């Protein structure tokens, strides 16, 4: 009974996140962080960055991957199922209903204006999530350098309107991290000798 209550809590938590978040997975990160680490205390705030890294590194939408990961960590396999369903069901229902009336829906001026406001709010939510995640990263030279290089790379890609997948940035970041770790180990080994 206790496990079932936990699974229902996971479902309801992610259902609310899925119901009240517009703008995709990145816009959900602040809500996931608030619910998981601040309200429910299921995970430490530092673990949110791990969730984002794992969810971004695996195939599929970041929000679904995050819900699945959190659900599994908190409630096992069925916890993952309940959390994932809780997140996905609101979107499926809303998209289905909107698709039935999309043309009529978007032709209403107040709705079109509301979507413009929602787009601006989403940009703020994503920026807020990035700032919170940056605070949990150690402020050493390596991390600052990586962040600056990625920001500069993204600016250049956007300025020249190049088609460049973010997957490559993740792979490059991983390779740079591995090389940095190997160099740090080699340096540490040489200083011991």
pLDDT at 23: 64
Q: Kindly state whether residues 90 and 106 are assigned to the same domain.
A: yes
Q: Kindly state whether residues 91 and 145 are assigned to the same domain.
A: no
What's the total number of domains in the chain? 2
In whole angstroms, give the CA distance from residue 30 to residue 123: 12
Q: Kindly state whether residues 96 and 166 are assigned to the same domain.
A: no
In whole angstroms, give the CA distance from residue 13 to residue 135: 25
Q: Kindly state whether residues 89 and 184 are assigned to the same domain.
A: no
Q: Kindly state whether residues 128 and 156 are assigned to the same domain.
A: no
Q: What angle do CA 184, 186, 192 make, to 5 degrees?
A: 105
pLDDT at 22: 67
pLDDT at 179: 86
22 phi and psi, to 5 degrees? Answer: -110, 150
pLDDT at 191: 75
pLDDT at 29: 81
Q: Kindly state whether residues 104 and 159 are assigned to the same domain.
A: no
Q: Kindly state whether residues 120 and 188 are assigned to the same domain.
A: no
Torsion of CA 79, 44, 29, 36, to 10 degrees: 40
Q: Kindly state whether residues 117 and 128 are assigned to the same domain.
A: yes
Residue 33 neighbours by CB under 8 Å, 6+ apart: 45, 48, 129, 132
Token pair recorded at residue 162: 């190049």
Let me know: does 60 contact 88? Beta carbons within 8 Å: no
DSSP 8-state code for residue 25: H
Give the predicted TM-score (pTM) of the model: 0.62
In whole angstroms, give the CA distance from residue 157 to residue 45: 32
- Per run of 10 residues, the mean pLDDT along the chain (length 193 residues) is 91 90 73 87 86 82 89 94 94 83 78 82 78 77 80 85 80 83 82 70
Q: Kindly state whether residues 10 and 90 are assigned to the same domain.
A: yes
Q: Kindly state whether residues 70 and 118 are assigned to the same domain.
A: yes
pLDDT at 71: 95
Q: Kindly state whether residues 36 and 62 are assigned to the same domain.
A: yes
Q: Please say which residue of 137, 160, 182 terminates a domain.
A: 137
Let me know: does 67 contact 61? Beta carbons within 8 Å: no
Q: Kindly state whether residues 149 and 93 are assigned to the same domain.
A: no
In whole angstroms, give the CA distance from residue 99 to residue 51: 32
3-state secondary structure of 51: helix
Q: What is the extent of the structural domain holding 56?
A: 2-137
């Amino acid at each position: 009974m206790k496990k079932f209550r936990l699974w229902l809590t996971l479902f309801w938590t992610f259902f609310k996140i899925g119901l009240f978040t517009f703008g995709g997975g990145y816009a959900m990160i602040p809500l996931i962080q608030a619910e998981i680490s601040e309200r429910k205390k299921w995970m430490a705030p530092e673990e949110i960055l791990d969730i984002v890294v794992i969810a971004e590194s695996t195939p599929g939408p970041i929000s679904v991957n995050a819900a699945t990961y959190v659900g599994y960590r908190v409630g096992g396999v069925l916890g993952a199922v309940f959390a994932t369903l809780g997140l996905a069901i609101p979107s499926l229902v809303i998209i289905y209903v909107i698709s039935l009336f999309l043309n009529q829906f978007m032709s209403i001026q107040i709705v079109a204006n509301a979507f413009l406001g929602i787009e601006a709010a989403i940009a703020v939510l994503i920026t807020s999530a990035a700032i919170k995640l940056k605070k949990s990263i150690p402020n050493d030279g390596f991390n600052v350098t990586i962040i600056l290089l990625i920001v500069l790379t993204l600016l250049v890609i956007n300025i020249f309107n190049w088609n460049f997948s973010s997957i490559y940035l993740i792979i490059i970041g991983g390779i740079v991290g591995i090389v940095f770790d190997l160099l740090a180990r080699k340096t540490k080994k040489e200083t011991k000798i």
